[in-house]
Amino acid sequence: MAAGRCDICERKPMYGNNVPHSQHRTRRRFVLNVQHRRLVIDGAARNVNICTRCLRTMSKVQKVR
């Protein structure tokens, strides 16, 4: 399992630049907030690494149309 990867949405760390006022760019890493949770997925309990964005989305109530 890759570090910092979400099992649900498959997102992984992204790379970018630190840019101070002097415009001297250095590489940096944007890492996901990944939590280890035991969730019921497709009727079976599984241990998953899930990002907090997916956790928030899963807790939303389904909208009635």
- pLDDT value at 21 more than 80: yes
Q: Can you give the pLDDT at residue 12?
A: 95
DSSP state of 60: S
Can you read off the two tokens belonging to residue 27? 């590489």
Q: Please, are residues 17 and 29 in contact by the beta-carbon 8 Å criterion?
A: no
In this prediction, residue 63 has a pLDDT band, given cuts at 50, 70 and 90, of low
In this prediction, residue 38 has a pLDDT band, given cuts at 50, 70 and 90, of very high
